[in-house]
Amino acid sequence: MKISTILIISIILLVPGISYSQSSFLAEDGIAVFYPTEFDSTQTLPSIIIEKELLPREALPSSWEIIPDFSVNEDKSLVEISYGPDVDLYGTGEVTGSLRRNDTEIELWNTDNYGYRKAQGKRLYQSHPWIMGVRKDGSAFGIIADNTWKQSFNLKNPITISSDGPPFRVIIIERETPQELLKTLAELTGKIEMPPIWALGYQQCRFSYFPDTKVREVAYEFRKRKIPCDVIWVDIDYMDNFKVFTFHPERFPDPDGLNHYLHSLNIKSVWMIDPGVKKEDGYIVYEEGTAGDHWVYTNNNEVFTGNVWPGECVFPDFTIPETRQWWGSLYRGFIQTGIDGVWNDMNEPSVFNRQGGTMPETNWHRGGGLLQPGPHLRYHNIYGLLMVKASRDGILKANPGKRPFVLSRSNFLGGQKYAATWTGDNASTWEHFKMATPMVLNLGLSGQPFTGPDLGGYRGSPDTSLFANWIAVGAFYPFCRSHTEKGTGAQEPWAFGEEVENVSRKALERRYRLMPYLYTLFWEASQTGLPVMRPVFFADITNLTLRSEDEAFMWGDDLLIIPQWAENPGLPGGIWRTISLLDADAENDGYQPELRQRGGSIIPLGSLIQSTDEFKTDSTTLFVCLDENNKAGGTLYVDEGDGFDYRNGDFEVLTFNAKKIGKKKVIVRCKSAGTSQTKDQRYYQIGLVSDTGIFYSDWEDSNTIKVKF
């Protein structure tokens, strides 16, 4: 009987529009799928979130604990999910508030939310219909509300998910640890590609640097003052009357020359492209889009218009495959000017003169391919995701030898495959500064490892103390960019005086010294889906005192970052020894976080550099922190830093293992995997992290490091 039921369900899943009674099954070990009564697959499937089909494999076991209860109340589709005692909830994507999400409410409706002032910050730029639960014993479960419609989460017990759309399926994942849960989430939703290494460097932005001479001036000052920097960002004032894919004839008459100048300083450029296209006869993008019938329509079958920066605009309907292809093709000439990366902003989408600051929910998307026609209420939350997918595909076609870099303000669960993100228009306040860490952590716990806030805050001007604290901690966010709005004070590191300039230089030199370790963590994220920046409780998932810690955080498993301002932070037990990355660390400036290395780990460090263009691993320092058994291990990933040769095996993974022999000798052995041609040209230094300092000795043998002290 059970086998027949499973087969029937399998057949039904492949037939669009069929309704059937509530059902459940195991698709894979620890992955259960639940369908509500009268489920209509055309209303929510194919899944935007899940990359592979989840078909029935076997019946749900009687011991399965987390079971959703479906119902319909007036025009709302509801799901209630009860869970046991002593469960801590996390995830839910881009949210304000504390790391632990219990007893909170959020709305999943992507919103241009300047200063997080709308809806008390419960509704921001991105939607991640994902909840992580961690039990007292460290086991974890995940909940995916697999639909794109407007919805809300009330994270009490039971959890209540309320959707403005039709009934939707729910996916429950059970795993032994939260780390294994995140790996499974990545297997279902997709992993990030390796970013270009320059995207991991420090980045400087404001709304706006113009004319082009100002961009050159800022870049020159970074090099003159020897403050590490990899990217200068160019906001919408480069455009001719804010028309996308154009350049202002007076402010930016020679984008090729500007980019060539930046490249001569080993600095890259990222330029903004918004979705709103100015409605103007003779403007080629508008003319092409109109001829190709690429715009979003109203429910009255008229092209929708709304005001954004250029004035009256039309908007691409990214649910149409041909529209996404056309939009991507617009990047060819744009990228050929030497632009290195693209910033997709305002893509919630933001519309200035419409109620709610966006398109009407009744606007109509025509779909195509696997996407059904439907109202904006269904496709609003993935408008940004579809845009950045089109952008990434177009950039890759325009420049196939380079790894695309796209930053997006709006996104959705699974969108990490297409774009990095930042946390939107935050404010220059201590509240928003301290809020940034749990926001970045919960994005990481929702599958997005490449994220960070606007350092210094976007709205308003920080005082010297706030900026110094922010850049000192911000040097340890995965995405590291300072950004501010028009009408504020200058926010370059030197604008706050000599003390803050020195604090900034030191903070960024620490980040760049850790670049080998950081790049390796991004490689790990691309392989496993684990976040780069992790909550402290990952160090000991059964230590309940760490579950709410959201001031201190970790890079990977081995580096603990403790801000100077943290008040009695919860820290993991065991061996965690303070490390010094620079000679200047000996002088505490009152801003730099304390860094502690986990006992049993080896962390690779690079040389002091001003740009990742100078990054090399032929001279690498290994910090070895022995555990209670006098052993340690670590990994270093190396590739060209750009391009795709690594996909064909042109990379190297160095595995280090150390042990102490007797009282005065530490031996470190190295194994190499991969085909990189540079692996025999390396030179290492070894640093032993101990209670009495760091000891170095040179090493040229390709197999063993011997350290005497």
Burial class (CB within 10 angstroms; exposed 0-12, middle 13-18, buried 19+) of 18? middle
Whether the Cβ atoms of residue 81 and residue 143 lie closer than 8 Å to each other = yes
Cβ-in-10-Å burial (0-12, 13-18, 19+) of 390 comes to buried
Q: For tokens 């057949």, what's the residue?
A: 11
The one-character DSSP state at 502 is: H
Backbone angles phi, psi at 362, to 5 degrees: -90, -5
Angle at 649 between CA 643 and CA 652, to 5 degrees: 90
Alpha carbon of 507 to those of 207, 369, 440, 500, 518: distances in Å? Answer: 24, 48, 19, 10, 15
Helices 212-225 and 255-264, interaxial angle, to 10°? Answer: 0
166-187, pLDDT tens digit by residue? 999 999 999 999 999 999 999 9
pLDDT tens-place string over residues 279-304: 999 999 999 999 999 999 999 999 99
- Provide the terminal-to-terminal Cα distance of the chain, rounded to the nearest Å: 72
pLDDT of residue 225: 98
* Average pLDDT of the residues in 576-592: 91
Report pLDDT for 697: 53
* Beta carbons within 10 angstroms of residue 590's beta carbon: 13
> What pLDDT is recorded for position 22?
64
pLDDT at residue 141, rounded to an integer? 98
Residue 659 β-bridge partners: 631, 667
Whole-number Cα distances in Å, 300 to 278, 304, 310, 375: 21, 9, 25, 12
User: Which neighbouring-strand residues pair with 153?
Assistant: 106, 161
What is the share, in percent, of the chain residues with pLDDT greater than 70?
A: 93
Q: How far apart are CA 457 and CA 428, in angstroms?
A: 4
pLDDT attached to residue 683: 65
SS3 196: coil
> How high is the pLDDT of residue 680?
47
How far is residue 527 from each of residues 186, 408, 533, 641, 679, measured CA to CA in Å? 9, 22, 15, 16, 21
Contact predicate 25/56, CB 8 Å: yes
Spatial separation of the C-alpha atoms in residues 406 and 202, rounded to whole Å? 16
Residue for token pair 């943290």: 566
The phi and psi torsions of 707 (rounded to 5 degrees) equal -120, 125
Q: With bands split at pLDDT 50, 70 and 90, how would you rate the model's confidence at 692?
A: low
Tens-place pLDDT, residues 179-216? 999 999 999 999 999 999 999 999 999 999 999 999 99
Q: Two tokens at 583? A: 């000679």
Return d(Cα 569, Cα 537) in angstroms, integer: 12
Residue 211: cis peptide before it, omega within 30 degrees of 0: yes
Please check whether residue 612 is in contact with residue 198, taking contact to mean a CB–CB distance below 8 angstroms.
yes
- Asked if 73 and 139 touch (Cβ cutoff 8 Å), the reply is no
Cβ contacts of residue 532 below 8 Å, gap of 6+?
Answer: 444, 449, 450, 478, 518, 521, 522, 525, 555, 556
- With vertex at residue 281, the alpha carbon angle to CA 277 and CA 282, rounded to the nearest 5 degrees, is 95
Give the number of other CB atoms < 10 A from CB of residue 495: 15
- Chain length of the chain: 709
**Average pLDDT rounded to a whole number, residues 257-268:** 98
pLDDT for the residue 687: 76
| CA–CA gap between residue 121 and residue 110 (Å, rounded) | 12
Read off the DSSP letter of residue 427.
B
* Tens-place pLDDT, residues 86-112: 999 999 999 999 999 999 999 999 999
Q: Rounded to whole angstroms, how far apart are CA atoms 152 and 292?
A: 36
Model confidence at 691, in pLDDT bands (50, 70, 90)?
A: low
pLDDT tens across 213-246, in order? 999 999 999 999 999 999 999 999 999 999 999 9
- The candidate with the shortest Cα–Cα distance to 515, out of 552, 549, 476, is 476
Alpha-carbon distance of 560 to 593, in angstroms, equals: 9
Handedness of CA 235, 440, 394, 383 (dihedral sign): negative
- Determine the Cα–Cα distance for residues 289 and 323; give it in Å rounded to an integer: 8
Backbone dihedral angles phi then psi of residue 683, each to the nearest 5 degrees: -135, 125
Residue 552 near residue 562, CB atoms below 8 Å: yes
Task: Kindly report, residue by residue over 479-520, the tens digit of the pLDDT.
Answer: 999 999 999 999 999 999 999 999 999 999 999 999 999 999
Count Cα neighbours of 61 within 13 Å in the Cβ-side half-sphere. Answer: 8
Tokens read off for 368? 């195509």
> What's the rounded mean pLDDT across residues 702-706?
55
Q: Does position 1 have pLDDT exceeding 70, yes or no?
A: no
Give the separation between CA 364 and CA 298, rounded to whole angstroms.
5
pTM: 0.94
504 CB-near residues (< 8 Å, 6+ apart): 227, 468, 471, 493, 494
Burial of 402 (0-12, 13-18, 19+ CB in 10 A): middle
pLDDT (tens digit, 9 = 90+) per residue, 314-366?
999 999 999 999 999 999 999 999 999 999 999 999 999 999 999 999 999 99
**Whether the Cβ atoms of residue 525 and residue 532 lie closer than 8 Å to each other:** yes
Distance CA 277, CA 242 (A): 9
501 SS3 class? helix
Q: Which string of DSSP letters, residue by residue, matches 260-299?
A: HHHHHTT-EEEEEE-S-EE--TT-HHHHHHHHTT-B-B-T
61-74 residue pLDDT tens: 999 999 999 999 98
Token pair of 666 as six digits: 């530490």
DSSP run (H or E) holding 218: helix 212-225
- 3-class DSSP state of 583: helix
Which of 199, 208, 127, 227 has its CA nearest to residue 505? Answer: 227
Question: Which range, of 453-462, 555-564, 602-611, 659-668, averages the lowest pLDDT?
Answer: 659-668
Q: How far apart are CA 558 and CA 560, in angstroms?
A: 7
pLDDT the model gives residue 704? 59
pLDDT on residue 76: 95
Residue 705's pLDDT band, with cuts at 50, 70 and 90, is: low
| C-alpha closest to that of 279 among 256, 308, 246 | 308
d(CA 652, CA 658) in angstroms, rounded, equals 19
- Positions annotated as catalytic residues are 345, 348, 425
Mean pLDDT of 14-37: 75
* 3-state DSSP assignment of residue 225: helix
Picking from 387, 326, 651, 700, the residue whose alpha carbon sits closest to that of residue 519 is: 651
Q: State the average pLDDT for the chain.
A: 93
Residue 706 is predicted with a pLDDT of 57
Q: Rounded to an integer, what distance in angstroms lies between the CA atom of residue 607 and that of residue 228?
A: 12
